[in-house]
């Protein structure tokens, strides 16, 4: 774990729970794509940089989830590097309390204030094309998060962040976290058409052909949409639906899973309502959903 893998002359990734991209920008200078899930991840990354004699110039965050920005604060303090984050993700990176607040829908309880949902604050700047090193470009990948991006390197490497789940993850967790189902499907359809020497998803193995995995992710989203529609065959409240979802997929309810799965189910309901497959209505001061 935390092994540095070189894939082209200047492009690397660090093998860890959420793969970290690394691009050599000069003889002794590098930038990172994401920073790992916490201070310990930051320390391990710093150790790799020190062993190679590299100076960290910047961290480019793909999105603001804690497992991708958790090492920011440590690395910024240790190296003085710049931190960049795209769009809305910048606000979440500068003010990480927004993440558990968004998931919970209010001031988050203590059970949601841990490092997997609440990273340390880092002084993130807006991520624009102008902020990138030469030979690197942005790819918009919204859906899993509001303004998630990937990065394409001229040498033919594409870092895809969290826009694809591995086959193993799809089998284990049929309902992956999403904030915008429609945008996510559009992202997957775009990714299907991409060509590169190597694709590096954060949570799946690098591959030269991304089409099959993108297709499996599309099928998983469509299957989840069909399942939720079926669970709304009879009028059901959100809490009633969430219980059905947990029972259907064999999940165990915790405060964290209630927040993560609950947020995802709400996103699916928005998508299904826009598609005309379900509709909300009020009855006896209760919001109900029905296919």
Task: Kindly state whether residue 66 falls inside one of the protein's structural domains.
Answer: yes
Asked if residue 236 and residue 157 are part of one domain, the reply reads no
The pLDDT tens digits of the residues spanning 65-80 come to 999 999 999 999 999 9
Residues 123 and 31 in one domain: yes
pLDDT at 125 over 90: yes
Q: Which of 239, 285, 282, 281 is nearest to 262 (CA)?
A: 239
Identify whether the C-beta of residue 244 lies closer than 8 Å to the C-beta of residue 236: yes
Q: Which whole number is the average pLDDT over 86-96?
A: 98
Q: With bands split at pLDDT 50, 70 and 90, how would you rate the model's confidence at 1?
A: confident
Mean pLDDT of 12-25: 97
- List pLDDT tens digits, range 142-155: 999 999 999 999 99
Q: Does 136 lie in the same domain as 8?
A: yes
Is residue 202, in this structure, part of any structural domain at all?
no
| Residue 273 resides in a domain | yes
DSSP symbol at 97: T
User: Are both 16 and 138 inside the same structural domain?
Assistant: yes
Domain boundary at 162, 183, 216, which? 162
> Are 242 and 156 part of one and the same domain?
no
pLDDT computed for residue 2 by the predictor? 94
- How far is it, in rounded angstroms, from Cα 148 to Cα 98? 16
Same domain flag for 142 and 269:
no
Q: What's the DSSP call for residue 68?
A: H
The last residue of a domain, from among 138, 162, 186: 162
**DSSP SS3 for 290:** strand
Shared domain check, 278 and 143: no
Mean pLDDT of the chain: 97
Cβ contact 132:60 at 8 Å: yes
| Within a domain: 227 | no
- Long-range contacts for 227-232 (Cβ within 8 Å, ≥24 apart)? 227/174, 228/265, 228/268, 228/269, 228/272, 228/278, 229/272, 229/277, 229/278, 229/291, 230/291, 232/272, 232/278, 232/289, 232/290, 232/291
pLDDT tens figures, 206-263: 999 999 999 999 999 999 999 999 999 999 999 999 999 999 999 999 999 999 999 9
Residue 243 to residue 260: CA distance in whole angstroms: 14
- For the domain that residue 285 is a member of, what is the CATH number? 1.10.10
240 shares a domain with 154: no
**Domain boundary pick from 146, 162, 178:** 162
Question: Quick one: 150 and 34 in the same domain?
Answer: yes
Strands lying side by side in the sheet with 82-85:
3-6, 11-15, 20-24, 29-33, 55-60, 82-85, 124-126
Residue 219 structure tokens: 């099928």
Residue pair 277/291 in contact by the 8 Å Cβ criterion: yes
In sequence order, the 6+-apart residues with CB closer than 8 A to the CB of 55 are 28, 29, 30, 49, 79
- Confidence (pLDDT) at 150: 98
Assigned domain for 115 exists: yes
Cα 204 off chain centre by: 12
Of 266, 259, 267, the residue nearest 103 (C-alpha): 259
Q: Classify residue 50: in a domain, yes or no.
A: yes
128 is a domain residue: yes
Range of the domain at 92: 3-162
Both structure tokens of 172: 């284990």
Looking at residues 120-141, what average pLDDT do you find?
A: 97
* Residue 173: pLDDT over 90: no
Same domain, 144 and 237: no
Beta strand 55-60 pairing with 29-33: parallel
Mean pLDDT of 22-26: 98
Is a pLDDT exceeding 90 seen at residue 174?
Answer: no
**How do beta strands 82-85 and 286-290 pair?**
unpaired
- Examine residue 216 and state whether it is found in any structural domain, yes or no: no
Mean pLDDT of 20-46: 98
Q: How many domains does the chain have?
A: 2
* CATH code, domain with 26: 3.60.15.10
Query: Among all chains, which residue has been given the structure tokens 């790799």?
Result: 48
């Amino acid at each position: 774990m935390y092994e540095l893998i070189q894939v082209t002359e200047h492009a690397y990734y660090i093998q860890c729970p959420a793969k970290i991209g690394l691009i050599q920008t000069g003889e002794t200078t590098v930038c990172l794509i994401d920073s790992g899930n916490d201070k310990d991840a930051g320390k391990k990354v710093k150790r790799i940089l020190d062993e190679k004699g590299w100076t960290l110039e910047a961290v480019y965050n793909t999105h603001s989830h804690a497992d991708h920005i958790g090492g920011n604060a440590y690395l910024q303090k240790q190296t003085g590097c710049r931190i960049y984050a795209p769009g809305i993700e910048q606000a979440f990176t500068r003010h990480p309390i927004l993440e558990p607040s968004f998931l919970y829908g209010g001031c988050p309880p203590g059970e949601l204030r841990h490092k997997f949902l609440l990273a340390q604050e880092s002084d993130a700047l807006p991520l624009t094309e102008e902020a990138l090193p030469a030979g690197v470009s942005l790819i918009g990948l919204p859906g899993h998060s509001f303004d998630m991006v990937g990065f394409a390197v001229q040498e033919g490497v594409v870092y895809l962040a969290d826009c694809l789940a591995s086959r193993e993850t799809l089998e284990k967790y049929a309902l992956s976290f999403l904030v915008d189902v429609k945008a996510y499907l559009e992202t997957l359809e775009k990714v299907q058409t991409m060509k590169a020497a190597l694709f590096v998803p954060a949570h799946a193995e690098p591959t030269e052909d991304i089409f099959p995995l993108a297709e499996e992710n599309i099928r998983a989203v469509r299957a989840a949409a069909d399942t939720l529609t079926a669970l709304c065959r009879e009028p059901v409240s959100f809490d009633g639906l969430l219980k059905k979802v947990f029972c259907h997929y064999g999940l165990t309810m915790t405060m964290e899973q209630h927040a993560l799965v609950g947020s995802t189910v709400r996103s699916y309901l928005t998508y299904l309502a826009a598609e005309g497959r379900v509709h909300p209505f009020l009855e006896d001061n209760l919001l109900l959903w029905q296919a």
